[in-house]
Amino acid sequence: MQTIVQPLSPLSLKEWAVAVKALGQGEQIITIRKGGLYEETREFRLENNQFYLYPTYEHQKRDMVKPAYHHLLDATLEGWTSDQKTVAIEYFAEVTDEARLMDEAKLRALSPYHIWTDNFADVRLHWKKKQPLHILFVRMYRLQQPVIIPIEAAYQGCKSWHDLLAEIPRHDFLPVLEGDAFAQKKAEIMEILQK
């Protein structure tokens, strides 16, 4: 019997819209974090293992996304403008596992499992060299209906986490990947990380 996952709070993680789309389509099950410029500690901390995904558009760079995924990037930018007043919340995520990584060879071996170029991954690894990358294994759930919310001033800036101020449903989620498919991808990535 499958456990029904439900959000316990309005917490959300900001992530590039193209990464949200890739996670939301099951193209990848990991996200790589090191921290926002304005985090209190200037390093990434997993505040909760359950959260909504808040898509961001401003800092997306085409040259940091593999060409095979440019169509996902283009899809996120269709109809988007820099003076946008609303954003769509479509996904809820549950972190099933977290790994820390400082090994460039292992990071390179993870390349088939995410949308980012090697250059983008390297930049994340080498920024604040003494701090590890956080590899989050994310089980994604899609809201049955996306919720359009206003872009509040509180959501702006280079912070990873914020609480959504609008009411978002805390039920009616469908898993993006079935349990077996998620477990298979996770096992492949874990094998790389544990070598």
Using the predicted structure, report yes or no on whether residue 80 has a pLDDT greater than 90. Answer: no
What is the set of domains in the chain, with CATH numbers? 11-193 (2.30.130.30)
pLDDT tens-digit map of 14-27: 999 999 999 999 99
Rounded Cα distance between 45 and 133, Å, is 11
Rounded Cα distance between 45 and 130, Å, is 15
Rounded Cα distance between 190 and 97, Å, is 10
Rounded Cα distance between 148 and 162, Å, is 17
3-class DSSP assignment, residue 108 = helix
- Whole-model pTM: value is 0.87
Residue among 124, 127, 128, 130 nearest 108 (CA)? 124
Using the predicted structure, report yes or no on whether residue 143 has a pLDDT greater than 60. Answer: yes
Rounded Cα distance between 147 and 134, Å, is 29
Using the predicted structure, report yes or no on whether residue 75 has a pLDDT greater than 90. Answer: yes
Using the predicted structure, report yes or no on whether residue 4 has a pLDDT greater than 70. Answer: no
Q: At what angle do helices 70-77 and 17-24 cross, to 10 degrees?
A: 120
CB count in 10 Å sphere of residue 159: 15
Residue among 135, 138, 129, 127 nearest 101 (CA)? 135
